[in-house]
Chains A and B, each alone.
Chain A
Amino acid sequence: MGYLARFLVLAVIATFAHADISLKPGDQVPDLILPAVNGYAQRLEEVRGSYLMLIWLGRCDNCSELLHDYQQLAKSMEIDGAKAWVVWTPYKDDVPPNLLIPVLKYDAKWPDAWLFETRPSIMLIGRDGKLEHLITGNLNSIYKETETVFMRWISAGRGDETVE
């Protein structure tokens, strides 16, 4: 009976956790294709060559206010070729955030969809598709850190381009 219970628990975990992945700085980020609630679908492979800030939301029901500063930050760095996407996982009747940057809607039915296991979190993905910085925690409390790291990261990239 004990084995059966354990098997059932493992089967349930395997069913629901298959799409969650774990990554650490230095890892290559696997391709991701998700539909956007405000435009075209986005594909990670298509933005290789750009800096990408990927914002993984926790529970979010119309949390536009929470993301306002992040959106401003992303917009201010657009000139340097930086992009920003938000990944939103709907829960029941949750309303997606209303933003100008792409808001991707996670749904396990899409073939190249996956979820990062730690949410909320911010991923800064380099032009070669590698995860360069990972900041986790409540989005309000990690904004300052994100801003500092993001600005420094883009500036360093600008320096590299000059050297090249």
Chain B
Amino acid sequence: MKYLIALILAFPCFSFAEGAAIDQDITRVKDAVLELNKDLYELERELLSPATTRAAFNVSLNNGKFFEPLSVELLIDGEVKVRHLYTERQVKALRMGAVQPLGDMNLSPGKHEVRAVVRGVDHLGQGRELIASEQVTKTSKPLITELSIVDREEQQMARIELNYW
């Protein structure tokens, strides 16, 4: 009888310890799942856009006193890859220093002809077209570029530059 009572009294302790162990196991499994998810995400990213072929193009507007963009077209090796229209809100964001991710794409290593055509209006309200045309060399590292629209105070106009990050 004594043993039976002792067993009954000890049972909640056992089940409490068991419960704590299960909780720990669940936490460990959750952590493992999160880790696995992160690995899968990275693997997917690597597969979809590996560093050897990854190319990213961004747009920025420096001041914007002499030029306001209305649209941009990005051509790689003569083929239009991205077309974008700017709304007033987007131009405001660019003026405030935002950098617009224009496009992420895959480019094979080697030389490529990159041409960006930005259409917009100048400070006199006249339609203008800024063109950047450059031959870029894609190496095994990711190619990350920024199309900067920069004011040229001395020439009272803007120009576009292709910068590499």
Residues on A close to B: CB < 8 A? 33-35, 39-43, 46, 109-111
Interface residues of B in 58-100 (CB under 8 A from A): 70-71, 83, 85-89, 91
* Tally of B interface residues using CB under 8 Å: 9
Of A40, A42, A46, A110, the residue contacting B83 (CB under 8 A) is A110
Of B85, B88, B89, the residue contacting A110 (CB under 8 A) is B85
Least CB distance from B119 to A in Å reads 9
Contact B85 A41 (CB under 8 A): yes
Least CB distance from A137 to B in Å reads 30
Residues on B close to A: CB < 8 A? 70-71, 83, 85-89, 91
Instruction: Report the bound CA distance from A135 to B86 in whole Å.
Output: 30
Contact A46 B89 (CB under 8 A): yes
Give the secondary structure class of B's interface: strand
Number of A-B contacts (CB under 8 A): 26
Contact A35 B87 (CB under 8 A): no
Contact A40 B87 (CB under 8 A): yes
* Residues in A neighbouring B91, C-beta threshold 8 A: 40
Which 7 A-B pairs have CB atoms at the shortest separation, nearest pair first?
Answer: A41-B85, A40-B88, A43-B87, A41-B87, A33-B85, A35-B85, A40-B87
Instruction: Report the bound CA distance from A42 to B88 in whole Å.
Output: 8
* Residues in A neighbouring B70, C-beta threshold 8 A: 35, 40-41
Contact B71 A46 (CB under 8 A): no
Instruction: Report the bound CA distance from A34 to B87 in whole Å.
Output: 9
* Residues in B neighbouring A109, C-beta threshold 8 A: 83
Least CB distance from B93 to A in Å reads 12
Contact B87 A42 (CB under 8 A): yes
